[in-house]
Amino acid sequence: MNRTPIFEWEVWNMKNLNLLKAKATKNDEFYTRYEDVEKELNCYSFKDQIIYCNCDDPRKSSFVRYFIHHIQEIKMLIATCYHRQTVFSQEPGYKLQVTAEDFKNIKTEEDIRYVIESNIIPLEGDGDFVSKECLSLLDMADVVITNPPFSLASIYLQTLMKYQKNFLFIGNKNMVKTEFVFQEFQENRLWFGYHDVKEFMKPDGTVQKFGNVTWFTNLEVRRKKHLVLTKNYHEGNYQKYHNFNAININRLKDIPLDYDGIMGVPITFLDYYNPEDFELLGISVGQHKEALGIQKIGQEWITAYFAQGGKGHYTANMRNLVLLEDGVASAVYVRILIRRRKKYK
- Residue environment code for 24-39, b if the CB has 16+ CB neighbours within 10 A, otherwise e: beeebebbbbeebbee
| Mean pLDDT, contiguous 10-residue spans, the chain (345 residues) | 41 41 55 95 97 95 96 97 66 93 90 94 93 96 95 93 96 92 94 94 86 94 81 95 97 95 95 92 89 94 95 93 95 95 81
**How long is the chain?**
345
Residue 269 and residue 214 in contact, taking contact as beta carbons nearer than 8 Å: no
| pLDDT score for 25 | 46
Q: Could you write out the three-class secondary structure of the chain?
A: CCCCCCCHHHHCCHHHHHHHHHHHHHHCCCEECHHHHHHHHCCCCCCCCEEEECCCCCCCCHHHHHHHHCCCCCCEEEEEECCCCCCCCCCCCEEEEECHHHHCCCCCHHHHHHHHHHHEEECCCCCCCCCHHHHHHHHHCCEEEECCCHHHHHHHHHHHHHCCCEEEEEEEHHHHHCHHHHHHHHCCCCEEEEEECCEEECCCCCEEECCCEEEEECCCCCCCCCCCCCECCCHHHCCECCCCCCEECCCHHHCECCCCCCEEECHHHHHCCCCCCEEEEEECCCCHHHHHCCCCCCHHHHHHHHHCCCCCCCCCCCCCCEEEECCEEEECCCCEEEEECCCCC
- Residue 168, beta-bridge partner list: 145, 217
| pLDDT score for 13 | 42
Residue 275 and residue 188 in contact, taking contact as beta carbons nearer than 8 Å: yes
Residue 249 and residue 263 in contact, taking contact as beta carbons nearer than 8 Å: yes
| pLDDT score for 211 | 87
Residue 315 and residue 302 in contact, taking contact as beta carbons nearer than 8 Å: yes
| pLDDT score for 343 | 82
The one-letter code for the residue type at 244 is F
- Residue 336, beta-bridge partner list: 265, 283
Q: How far is CA 132 from CA 129, 258, 289, in A?
A: 8, 53, 37
Distance CA 98, CA 58 (A): 11
Residues 47/110/62/143 CA torsion (nearest 10 deg): -30
- Residue environment code for 269-304, b if the CB has 16+ CB neighbours within 10 A, otherwise e: bbebbeeebbebbbbbbeebbeebebeebeeebbeb
| pLDDT score for 235 | 92
- Global pTM reads 0.86
Q: How far is CA 152 from CA 71, 101, 130, 146, 302, in A?
A: 29, 35, 11, 13, 36
Residue 102 and residue 75 in contact, taking contact as beta carbons nearer than 8 Å: no
